[in-house]
Structure 1
Amino acid sequence: MLNTKSSPTTTRKLAGTQVGIPPRQMDFVPPTHAARYFFYNNATATLFFAVLSGIFPAGERFFVESVRRFRNDIKDETLKAQVSGFIGQEALHGREHDRLNTMLAERGFDMRMPIKGIDLSLWLLNQLPARQQLACTIFMEHFTALLAEQWLSNIEFQQLADPDMIKLWQWHALEELEHKSVAYDVYDLIGNKPYERVLAALYVIAAIAPTVLASWAYLVAREHKPQKWRDIKQGITILLGKKGFITTILPQMPVFFQKKFHPKQHNTQHLESMWRDKLFGEFGTLLSELKNPDAVRLH
């Protein structure tokens, strides 16, 4: 007899898809032929993104758990579906970055420091009350949404990154924008307290910034490269210079503290639509990696 009962996973994906947050099952095969320094052909910049990849899987799990704790408080069916999509997307991000981290380790990048470091950082954040952990999540989601917008709108980044290596980051960035307001809406539901948002920024910066900076410095120090100091100077300029990849984001961070802040106030729908078509449209560049086409057809 044919079993027509949907599994919990299938139901979750369908729910997310119906509200524009489809968990896309991807199967990225990290390219073995890609240049060692796959961002800007620069070791320092490449290693920064390696650190980000290293901290993402544990970070995504923290995000998911901080939202999941309040799932039973949600009565609105749309928000329930959005949370389902959020959880599905974040879980898949973690899985694919785990695979990327394995490949980076095989290339000789010591990924143990960022991975172990973020575990300690998140252990510290896990000592906070559940509400405060969710506030930390919405602060980090604000940053990752801005980072995602940079990934998708920075033409230089698109042109100077290895075209195969960047695929995972493009998919990740699109989905970060699709679900950027979900955790915030859950936080609004349980009672938005501005002082908790301020504390969240302080806790996150204190717990996570040292891990990122120390891991980045460690990986750069281990790298043996001709004209290393020139590479470091160039990499820091690329990321933290006057118009650097990260520097461009920082002026947008303080809006998070505005009393009536909401992630949707910064409209990225056109960018999302453009990249959905580019990645998953009729001639999408990621269709061969997509393993659940219904996630595209139904949203």
Structure 2
Amino acid sequence: MPISRSSALYQASIGTLLLLVAATMLVPFLYIFAISFTDPEVYRSNTFILWPERWSFAAYELVLSGHGIVSALKASLFITLIGTPMAVTVSSSFAYMLSKRSLPGRKTMLNLIVFTLLFSPGLIPGYLLIKELHILDTWWSIILPGVTNAWTLLVMKSFFESLPGELEEAAIMDGCNPLQTYFHIILPLSKAPLAAFTLFFAVGYWNTYFNAVLYLNDVEKWPLQLFLQQVINSASLELFADPATLANLTQNKSPVPPEVVKMAAVIVVTLPILIVYPFLQKHFAKGVLIGSVKG
């Protein structure tokens, strides 16, 4: 069937608009990438570069040689690798429990969960709670508040309710107890939403910033995002290394401009999530859609 002239113009205009939107997102990232790998001398002569004219790893050598980013990387890895499985385990098990209509107090708990979507307790009560739990200025102050949220619980509950009840009945007839049914029947059928929410939680923990500002005073415990914010706002390179180390790294070399080092730091901070994302991307839409439209 031939496409009409008006339809072709419409498709072309939509395609052009989408390309422009994509360019507004891609060009800044390409600029950051290019600057981070550009030779310092080339950068001084031309500060707007979309592809390195002369490649250099001096900025990355400087970034990765400093103690600050190493301790921040350790903090972010601990928070993400410990917090993500905890969050997925707590959220999925609690959501499965809420999916059972025979659960005593189920309606009250669901109302309280929905209430948290509408009203926030505020910063001061949250800070006082963290202080009373004696986890202030520890990584647990970042991990524990994020182990679950209302939206995740409601979506996963909806997914569990969409599973056929006959599966659990058959498992019980085969001699499975509730825990065996959950781990051997329910969870294997929930790979798509679990993978999607694993990525949601991992990105959330990796990008944590606001809670770190509130609860962490020890510089050695700062995660990468808080460290990166300090780097971007700093006019010197002393956050990466002490003066002696800086002098040793730049000996017989052209000094690396702070702007180039900042771009390299941005790439280092974002690279881990960019590497993990493609492996879980296929579960993204499927997992969220299944839990959202059924139940």
Give TM-score, length-normalised by structure 2: 0.27
Rg comparison, structure with higher value: 2
